[in-house]
Structure 1
């Protein structure tokens, strides 16, 4: 998601969230036999009032880590799980209400690994871990939440610098596990200064920038497929047309085809997704925006088609960079190359995931849209964003089909992180931002979508999580605009993640059919900003 500008007593002392209050329509409950989570109202935005998170009655959540957890191996700057050591952990009225920089622990990757170490050579750290990069603050870093550990050993700092020992780790957004390279893959969402990093999972992690192979872009979502290809989804906002509050599409979906899937540094081909217009038979492109024939522009007929139900597009993968051709070994601007190669821009397609049980032939990705109720693209041109489904005969196929699976509206917009809960249900979470929260009087939510449903009809997705606003974020929201105050205000949902932690090739997300809360399948999400809490969602003991 885009960057926008308290300790636990031990592993057993987790907090249980209570249901939040709400004001928006609850929608309908899902009638699936395996998952029957009741839809709940959204939590209203009331200035100066903190509100707990709401959950479907079938669910409960526990704190796995929170921002004020002291790292077991802190540095002078990186001391806490979700705060830097550059100020007080609450606003200081004696210092212009400044407070420590909040670091936004972001996308979650859960793994079951044996033999990992921490700062204490005599301690058994168990085998259940959640890995996260940190996106906000003055510095990025990589942490590991040791789920089996006590409070003193709960969070380990894996790295704050790259492998050279001096270059700071950039702010990190997305993450996944590459079972062939046996590395975490991390993304830095920073436009043409963005990056893809790979990192070992133990303390004193070796973190390497592989942008000379995968390029630089505003990468956010990152996933492997069964062939060892790496799929990346970019979040780079576009410019607004004159007199408009909407944003032009400016982000791409990428696929990297490695020469050696066990070692990404050996190079390969970076490709970008191209969508063919049903009107002209030609690619929907960005260059046409500048050339006066804006097929990729926000108010074009093609953008209306991309934002409409029932239209199916042909797609192709176009190669934008090949290390066999460019032997310089230097990083390159992937976004610029995608435009030159006539790839198709989208409105901030932040994250994507493969549908289980489809042999990696179905890929769902979110489009966040404009997250502004005043956008003049909202009605027809994708301003509210949505969910897309890309279907191919094989994950390495050159061609496929694309359709809009779900079109957002004011009550369901800003879709960002996404995960499959089982074979037929995908969860997506909102990153609406404080402006939209005020405009619609509702905080962010997480939704459950049935992939077999037809959302062109009136049925709504199930809202299973209605995020509230914790006390720290509430305090921060009252301080926005105060000279010296520099943190964000409202909480944000990120890192929704369902996994059984299998680190093998068979454990790639999409390879197995998840069974929520059974057979080792676990569900996590992060409540960014405020107290920066990592939550684990579990069953409440009732029907799921």
Structure 2
């Protein structure tokens, strides 16, 4: 038997911190309002949702706080870190906790080198929602339904893959799919994920520098997982998406060296496109990197290391300033850095190093990207996380606060295009990470600003809805529709992080924001159809990493 979704508690936290109300599910049609209660015509919410702007949650020592959503929204927990897996192992007994310690420290127990006071948190990351028929699980007699969320887990020495069975009861809610590849190698910690409808595989990325890459996996229990980095390369890969031509776009998050005497970091990450020889086979094809042409010299904007002639590398170059200037447009082209047809070694390769050698253009940690619905995969939007430090002198004018960028092409297969700035971050809107489109005109980016910047700005992470019809060069700002709080476990971890030997992160992080109707065919590739937000089968998920490790679904509220 399946459990009813009505059995899961739905909690809406709206307006001021601490106001909690139970809510039902009805269509929402309120006009977007600013935090002061006045109509926010310069900050429109997502079409059909009319989201109300909410204030950020403050950070203070010892302060726990609930999540704050626009009052038009509620959220319900679909899985939590302490939820027992239906097929646990000694190493992976729970959804978001390893088996190496208690779920909470014993009273008075403090971390020390070689002494673990609590279980390691695994951080279920990017969500991939699919509607699939005939899925099995650990119980051969149980009906698992048709609605599933797949995740790789980001933290720890090794990773694993889980499936949240959205139609299932608590005992069957989360299935462990894999901990090893088909050749017995432990899985790396995973960050990004997507579904490739031609290969019929889940794709997972590992953000591990020259040990990272892409792994493909079948969707059922006893998932068959293969490392395909001999074709897609190794890098600090995070965001991964398909286009309508069967290409795979990968966005890299690889932090650069710190400029001596500063908190600024070198741009060191690239945007890639993998063009398969056969779109049903991701083991053969060519990997390309995005190259941006300087408006000043007409030459590619390439990686500039720190050396005697360039003591700050490319962190403060004129080209880097231009890339973060409103109103400028840059020519782009794709440069091939590896082709399995001409390199028959069958070995993984360092994509980041090859991109630098080919004079591809590095960015300030561009973690995720997505195609705009209704554009025929001709517009790709991606973010830069930036330096995530208020003391970086690159913050003003050189991308230190991060940004949103738009790549426009005549066709997803085109070799050339144009790049332009959509939004320059600031102290209150920075560390942008995961992304999803809410409809054709509104795109949501969420923050991963980190504990240091949380303290510097006295505010935790938020999720924002950007209107792509808005000119953000004149001071307009996106709508904050989710102000993440800090659960008690994360608050405790934040305090324990001051002790040597403590292995878990502190503050909660927003990740995995994901709007999808779950269609596993090519028609369902993100960007192929225009979402109907929170209606007609379109569902919105996000994960509150660290602390309790909760994955939420966002629903419309009954006013």
Paired positions, count: 532
Aligned equivalent of 2:31: none
Residue 53 (structure 2) pairs with residue 52 (structure 1): no
Alpha-carbon shift at residue 483 of structure 1 (Å):
3.7
Residue 110 (structure 2) pairs with residue 115 (structure 1): no
TM-score, length-normalised on structure 1? Answer: 0.95
Q: Deviations over 1:454-475 (max 9, x none)?
A: 0001211000000000011011
Alpha-carbon shift at residue 13 of structure 1 (Å):
2.8
Aligned equivalent of 1:321: 338
What is the CA–CA distance in structure 1 between the aligned matches of 2:500 and 2:267, rounded to whole Å? 34
Alpha-carbon shift at residue 340 of structure 1 (Å):
0.2
What is the CA–CA distance in structure 1 between the aligned matches of 2:48 and 2:406, rounded to whole Å? 23
Q: Is the 8 A contact 1:22 1:44 kept in 2?
A: no
What is the CA–CA distance in structure 1 between the aligned matches of 2:131 and 2:4, rounded to whole Å? 24
Q: Deviations over 1:134-188 (max 9, x none)?
A: 0112320000000000000000000001112x21111000000000000000000
Indicate the RMSD between aligned Cα atoms, in angstroms: 1.9
Aligned equivalent of 1:5: none
Query: Which of residues 523, 530, 553 is equivalent to 1:506?
Result: 523
Stretches of structure 2 that go unaligned for 5 or more consecutive residues are 19-33, 112-116
What is the CA–CA distance in structure 2 between the aligned matches of 1:244 and 1:380, rounded to whole Å? 15
Alpha-carbon shift at residue 397 of structure 1 (Å):
0.3
Q: Is the 8 A contact 1:492 1:529 kept in 2?
A: yes
Q: Deviations over 1:110-142 (max 9, x none)?
A: 000000100000000000000000011232000
Residue 9 (structure 2) pairs with residue 14 (structure 1): yes
Residue 144 (structure 2) pairs with residue 125 (structure 1): yes
Q: Deviations over 1:27-67 (max 9, x none)?
A: 83526653310111000112101100000011000000000
Residue 433 (structure 2) pairs with residue 416 (structure 1): yes
Query: Which of residues 361, 376, 380 is equivalent to 1:363?
Result: 380
What is the CA–CA distance in structure 2 between the aligned matches of 1:175 and 1:147, rounded to whole Å? 18
Q: Deviations over 1:314-371 (max 9, x none)?
A: 0000000011111000000000000000000000000000000000000000100001
Q: Deviations over 1:485-523 (max 9, x none)?
A: 221110000000000000000000000000011110000
What is the CA–CA distance in structure 2 between the aligned matches of 1:11 and 1:147, rounded to whole Å? 12
Alpha-carbon shift at residue 291 of structure 1 (Å):
8.7
What is the CA–CA distance in structure 1 between the aligned matches of 2:320 and 2:176, rounded to whole Å? 44
Structure 1 residue matching 2:438: 3-state secondary structure: strand
Structure 1 residue matching 2:474: 3-state secondary structure: coil
Alpha-carbon shift at residue 14 of structure 1 (Å):
2.8
Residue 152 (structure 2) pairs with residue 138 (structure 1): no
Alpha-carbon shift at residue 15 of structure 1 (Å):
4.1
TM-score, length-normalised on structure 2? Answer: 0.92
Aligned equivalent of 2:245: 227
Residue 123 (structure 2) pairs with residue 104 (structure 1): yes
Q: Deviations over 1:253-310 (max 9, x none)?
A: 0000000110112x11100000000000000001576594699711011000011111
What is the CA–CA distance in structure 2 between the aligned matches of 1:209 and 1:95, rounded to whole Å? 40
Alpha-carbon shift at residue 478 of structure 1 (Å):
1.4
Query: Which of residues 164, 167, 172 is equivalent to 2:185?
Result: 167
What is the CA–CA distance in structure 1 between the aligned matches of 2:540 and 2:144, rounded to whole Å? 20
What is the CA–CA distance in structure 1 between the aligned matches of 2:427 and 2:477, rounded to whole Å? 13
Q: Is the 8 A contact 1:249 1:296 kept in 2?
A: no
Query: Which of residues 87, 91, 102 is equivalent to 1:77?
Result: 91
Aligned equivalent of 1:4: none
Could you tell which deviates more after superposition, 26-35 or 367-376? Answer: 26-35
